[in-house]
């Protein structure tokens, strides 16, 4: 694969007229950098851009806030003397008053290829807010770190829309942020002046290490690119009383609880014959979040073949094992979760309550998987209209 140049650098190289003439707002965070680690904010400023305000997604502009309704407040950027509007606080989409200050909204966020990672929802809400306004929205594209070929999971069901899933995509969607913006614009039939500044050199089948781009963590619990590979499945544990490794140095790589039985759990995981993964028994003590300060029995998830590994199926098998082995100790967490106050967190994470119900009835993860294959196929057909890269 040829050298991958991210959209932010392509924009600077091309230097469109609006870059110096328009009033700019930038939605970004500390992972929005060039190959030389220059912030997109600074790169645009150095190119003569007239930055009027900044917007930050969940976790804040500096990616310093933890997850699940730990909000970030509006701030002030001293370097540019402009306001920073939080889109993860009392409001989660830019107001008309905010957007009237600018002519172009520039978006540069590193996504992780998973429906429930909220940056995609934030970008979609920005597009919805821009509908019908005299405003240009420009997405500076970046790689999908877990590749743009493989898709997995059920498509979000009607009635299960939330901040961790607003659009009709599966858990592992195989889109870049630019492609996701195009998908949202098409699905919602938005009248928006949308421009995607594509990367050069990226091919759909590439995992992040093949790009040679530096990985800068886009959120506090996404420290490495392969955390993103585990995330479509391990994030499901957020809806349970099992630790998904938050509060340790290996979030989403570890899972466990004080009540987990290593021997029995290992046996069930072995019977599942999951491809491309090994589960190594461990003990750990979270420093915060679930089971803070308590010794947990669990596993570290080691991906041995990233191509054959199926993270969502793996997550469902883990849930299935907890239900089978620890029915009295294991539980679904109650709401609220990510601004949803009625539905179970597990149901909005899964994007369809029928998946949880199938697990509770004792159906295997592979049996449940059969129920969504038609919907997944329809998604793959529809997404073919908006793909940018070969």
Q: What confidence score (pLDDT) does residue 25 get?
A: 98
What is the per-residue pLDDT for 70? 87
Helix (H, G, I), strand (E, B), or coil: what is residue 302?
Answer: strand
* Rounded Cα distance, 11 and 142, in Å: 12
- Spatial contact of 71 and 87, defined as CB atoms under 8 Å apart: no
Length of the chain: 390
Question: Which domains can be identified in the chain, with CATH numbers?
Answer: 7-212 (3.40.50.12170), 225-371 (3.90.1150.140)
In angstroms, rounded to a whole number, what is the distance separating the alpha carbons of residues 113 and 232? 8
Cα 247–253–256 angle (5° rounding)? 65
- pLDDT confidence of residue 67: 78
Sites in the chain below the pLDDT cut of 70: none
- The continuous run of DSSP H or E covering 285 comes out as none
């Amino acid at each position: 694969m040829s050298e991958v140049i991210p959209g932010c650098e392509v924009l600077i190289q091309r230097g469109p007229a609006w870059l110096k003439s328009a009033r700019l707002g930038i939605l970004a965070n500390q992972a929005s950098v060039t190959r030389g680690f220059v912030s997109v904010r600074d790169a645009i400023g150095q190119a003569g851009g007239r930055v009027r305000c900044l917007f930050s997604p969940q976790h804040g502009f500096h990616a310093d806030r933890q997850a699940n309704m730990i909000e970030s407040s509006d701030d002030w950027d001293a370097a540019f003397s402009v306001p920073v509007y939080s889109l993860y606080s009392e409001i989660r989409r830019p107001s008309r008053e905010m957007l009237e200050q600018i002519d172009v909204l520039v978006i540069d966020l590193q996504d992780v290829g998973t429906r429930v990672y909220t940056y995609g929802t934030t970008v979609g809400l920005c597009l919805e807010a821009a509908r019908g306004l005299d405003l240009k929205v420009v997405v500076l594209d970046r790689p999908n770190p877990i590749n743009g070929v493989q898709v997995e999971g059920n498509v979000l069901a009607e009635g299960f829309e939330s901040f961790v899933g607003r659009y009709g995509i599966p858990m592992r969607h195989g889109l870049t942020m630019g492609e996701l913006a195009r998908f949202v614009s098409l699905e919602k039939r938005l009248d928006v002046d949308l421009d995607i500044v594509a990367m050069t050199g990226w091919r759909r089948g590439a995992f992040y290490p093949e790009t040679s781009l530096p990985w800068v963590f886009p959120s506090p619990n996404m420290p490495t690119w392969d955390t993103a590979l585990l995330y479509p499945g391990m994030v499901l544990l957020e809806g349970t009383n099992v630790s998904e490794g938050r509060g340790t140095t290996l979030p989403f790589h570890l899972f466990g609880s004080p009540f987990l039985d290593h021997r029995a759990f290992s046996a069930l995981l072995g019977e599942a014959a999951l491809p491309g993964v090994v589960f190594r028994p461990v003990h750990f003590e979270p420093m915060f979040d679930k089971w803070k300060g308590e010794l947990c029995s669990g596993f570290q998830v080691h991906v041995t073949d990233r191509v054959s590994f199926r993270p969502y199926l793996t997550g469902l098998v883990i849930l299935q094992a907890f239900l089978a082995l620890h029915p009295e100790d294991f539980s679904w967490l109650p709401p609220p979760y990510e601004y949803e106050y009625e539905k179970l967190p597990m149901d909005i994470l899964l994007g369809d309550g029928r998946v949880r119900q199938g697990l509770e009835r004792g159906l295997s993860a592979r049996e449940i998987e059969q129920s969504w294959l038609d919907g997944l196929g329809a998604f793959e057909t529809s997404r073919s209209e908006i793909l940018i890269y070969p």
